[in-house]
Amino acid sequence: MLSVHVHSIVADGMNVFYREAGTAGHPVILLLHGGIASSFQFRALMPLLARDFHVIAPDLPGHGFTSQTQGRTKPYSYTFSSLAHTLIAFVDGLKLTSYALYMFDFGAAVGYRLALAHPERVTAIVAQGGNAYVEGLGKAWEPVKALWGDVKPSSATDKLELLRAALLTPSGVHWVYSHGSGTHGNGRHVAPESHIFESSLLLQEPARQDVHLALLADYKSTVELYPLFQRYLRDWSPRVLAIWGNGMRFWVWRARGCIGGMCRMRRLCCWMRGILCWRRMWRRWRLR
């Protein structure tokens, strides 16, 4: 199995931690993790992709081991726009001018912004629950949508505290990782390392809870950008592999049998159980 190395680089006033595997000079693939997660979630995937790609997986600000530098002049604003700005600085710092994007969950909100900023750099996209259509928002979003429409600060605070109690405790993180997986959603197919690791970070640094709540509240800004994401997909027609699990609660199958509403990507669908088909498809794309 090929080795995975860890590094950090200063970008946009942040110490951005990232994992790297593969050989420089091979096609680059950026792995963008989801919410309440980090590059740790890609620890098993990276060696598989490293046989054919130069694999880079950063921890987004507020996640994993990425942190503010001591020299940063003002506190970081945890919005998806800020995360994308930092990621662009990170990519520029590594002098990456061409890359594929693998984006999962909240990583898609950042990845699509990166694609909008530099569409000419994106060679292909793997979207695992990487939503870009309102039809793909599942019922699990309803409590968050209620927050988006609340104009009373006191009421919004109450809703945030409910979300904190539901999602940002060890049991809540376990639910996020395991619900909908395996038989009857009991999480038998989910190794415990990831949710235990993320729970420990939340317990060690309670301020991280506020980061995740801020991003949930800010996801409305991503929904407002969905039309631009869709236009990008139409106008630039990047090669896309769209992957949805049939047990996902936040990002769902909807709209005339489409994947998260992405009808035009229907023929590219692959079940989560077909995870090893990624390398075969990437190889076919490289030969084109």
Mean pLDDT of 266-282: 42
Check: pTM over 0.75? Answer yes or no: yes
Antiparallel, parallel or unpaired: β 14-21 and 99-104 = unpaired
Label residue 276 by pLDDT band (50, 70, 90): very low
**Fold (CATH) for 4-138+221-283:** Rossmann fold (3.40.50)
Antiparallel, parallel or unpaired: β 54-58 and 258-259 = unpaired
pLDDT higher at 10 or 194: 10
Enter the DSSP assignment of 79: S
Does 272 score more than 50 pLDDT?
no
Measured between alpha carbons, how far is residue 228 from residues 110, 118, 210, 233 in Å? 13, 13, 28, 9
For residue range 133-173, what is the model confidence (pLDDT) as tens digits? Answer: 988 888 878 888 888 876 566 667 788 888 888 888 888 88
Label residue 71 by pLDDT band (50, 70, 90): confident
Label residue 219 by pLDDT band (50, 70, 90): very high
Separation of alpha carbons 234 and 29, rounded Å: 22
pLDDT of residue 264: 42
Rg (CA), the chain: 18
pLDDT of residue 190: 74
Antiparallel, parallel or unpaired: β 239-243 and 122-128 = parallel
Range in 9-18, 40-49, 74-83, 277-286 with the lowest mean pLDDT: 277-286
Separation of alpha carbons 30 and 18, rounded Å: 10
